[in-house]
Amino acid sequence: MLPLDPQADIGRRAWVNCPNCADGRDCPTCARHRVCGDHWRYLLATTGGRLHLQCPSCAHVWDHESGFGAHRTG
C-alpha cells in the first residue's frame, strides 16, 4: 500500500467513490449520495474541474473529473 501523500489533509476532503477499493459500496449513506463520515477521500489538489484524490482506506491516488469549473481540452 502506498503511503499517504504529504498534501493529504483531513480538512480538505471530497466524497467520490474510490475506483480501487470501493469501500463505500455497501454503505446506506453513500448509496443515497449523502456526506458520509467514513467514506471520504483526501482532496490533494484541483485543476479546474479535475480533482486529485487519495483514498484513506487503500491509499490509491487518482484524478476525477467533477464536471464543474474550467475543463481541460485536448
pLDDT at 3: 79
DSSP state at residue 15: -
pLDDT at 7: 84
Instruction: Tell me the C-alpha distance between 42 and 29, whole Å.
Output: 18
10, 37 Cβ separation under 8 angstroms: no
pLDDT at 6: 86
pTM: 0.81
pLDDT at 37: 93
25, 57 Cβ separation under 8 angstroms: no
Strand partners, 65: 50
pLDDT by residue for the chain (74 residues), tens only, comes to 567 888 889 899 999 999 999 898 899 999 998 999 999 999 999 988 899 999 999 999 999 998 876 555 55
